[in-house]
């Protein structure tokens, strides 16, 4: 009976340890005290296991989810979409391209499409990890008493689990949405672009000036499929068709497009294309919507 009593006591202590900060926060609110600014959440588990499977599985799941979201965000954030509108002989053109700012490469539309399909596997895995973690939270909390006094040091990480799950879902949805919109813009630009072989001489010379390109061989290398050019044509029907995929630019994007992006030295960047042996996949609108709605 004594051992059972001690075990129950540890259970109560563990539960109180998890709940006390929230109780204290509630009391402070009632007293009308001024709230302090929230610190940005940081997951700082050092990877040290406890030897208790329920707790260790939960900690590893949290770590996997946190790392997955951080890496996915880093990859997507390194891709930047640019466009610049200019005139040649009273005709308006827009040049469009995407750059991997970390590896300093122009990205081909085919590569962006290929990477989009590859990311669906990461989407599924991260979503399943978050779902499984949510189901494991109670078991991990109830297993803390098995750690004895170590329950106090590991309890804060168990308490962080729901925070990571909530934060991950929110950030993941934003990342997926932004990435999908950027991809749509780039692939729509490819559909509307002029084949390089059809560029008028004056347009070609202007593009060489904008991208600091000196010779025809280098020009063909970059404009064959990585840098796109669209001729502006006023068509009422065109606006209706494009409405679904066009994204309204922020003032910052407009400023960037107008003032900076035409001053770029193309030779400072390499070219990234679909991996050798791989073909560009066909992605339907249904595939895209499934990607955006997967939870």
pLDDT, residue 12, reads 45
Residues 6+ apart with CB under 8 A from 59: 45, 49, 50, 140, 154, 157, 158
pLDDT score for 29: 52
Phi and psi at 92, nearest 5°, equal -95, 135
What pLDDT is stored for residue 275 in this prediction?
A: 87
Q: Identify the pLDDT of residue 277.
A: 80
Residue 172 confidence (pLDDT) = 76
Q: Please tell me the predicted confidence (pLDDT) of residue 246.
A: 40
pLDDT at 294: 52
pLDDT at position 98, please? 94
Tell me the HSE value of 208 on the side-chain side, using a 13 A CA sphere: 15
Beta bridge mates, 88:
91
Looking at residue 46, what is its pLDDT?
92
Is the pTM above the cut of 0.75? Answer: no
Residue from 52, 47, 66, 58 nearest 134 by CA: 58
Which residues have CB under 8 Å from 62's CB, separation 6+? 43, 45, 133, 157, 160, 161, 164
Which residues of the chain carry a pLDDT beneath 50?
1-8, 10, 12-13, 15-17, 20-21, 23-25, 27, 30, 236-248, 253-262
pLDDT in tens, 116-141: 877 777 777 888 888 899 999 999 99
């Amino acid at each position: 009976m004594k051992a059972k009593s001690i075990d129950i006591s540890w259970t109560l202590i563990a539960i109180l340890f998890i709940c006390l900060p929230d109780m204290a926060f509630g009391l402070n609110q009632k007293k009308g005290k001024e709230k302090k600014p929230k610190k940005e959440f940081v997951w700082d588990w050092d990877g040290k296991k406890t030897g208790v499977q329920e707790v260790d599985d939960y900690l590893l799941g949290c770590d996997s989810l946190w790392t997955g979201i951080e890496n996915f965000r880093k990859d997507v954030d390194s891709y930047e979409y640019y466009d610049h509108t200019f005139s040649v002989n009273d005709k308006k053109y827009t040049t469009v391209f995407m750059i991997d700012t970390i590896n300093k490469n122009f990205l081909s539309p085919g590569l962006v499409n290929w990477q989009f399909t590859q990311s669906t596997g990461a989407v599924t895995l991260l979503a399943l990890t978050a779902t499984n973690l949510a189901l494991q939270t109670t078991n991990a909390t109830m297993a803390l008493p098995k750690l004895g006094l170590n329950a106090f040091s590991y309890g804060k990480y168990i308490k962080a689990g729901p925070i990571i799950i909530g934060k991950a879902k929110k950030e993941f949805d934003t990342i997926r949405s932004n990435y999908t919109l950027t991809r749509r813009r780039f692939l729509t630009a490819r559909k509307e672009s002029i084949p390089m072989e059809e560029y008028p001489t004056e347009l070609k010379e202007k593009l060489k000036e904008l991208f600091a390109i000196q010779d025809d061989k280098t020009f063909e290398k970059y404009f064959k499929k990585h840098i796109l050019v669209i001729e502006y044509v006023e068509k009422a029907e065109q606006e209706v068709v494009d409405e679904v995929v066009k994204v309204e630019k922020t003032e910052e994007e407009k400023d960037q497009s107008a003032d900076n992006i035409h001053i770029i030295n193309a030779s400072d960047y390499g070219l990234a294309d679909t991996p050798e042996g791989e073909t560009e996949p066909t992605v339907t609108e249904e595939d895209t919507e499934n990607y955006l709605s997967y939870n």
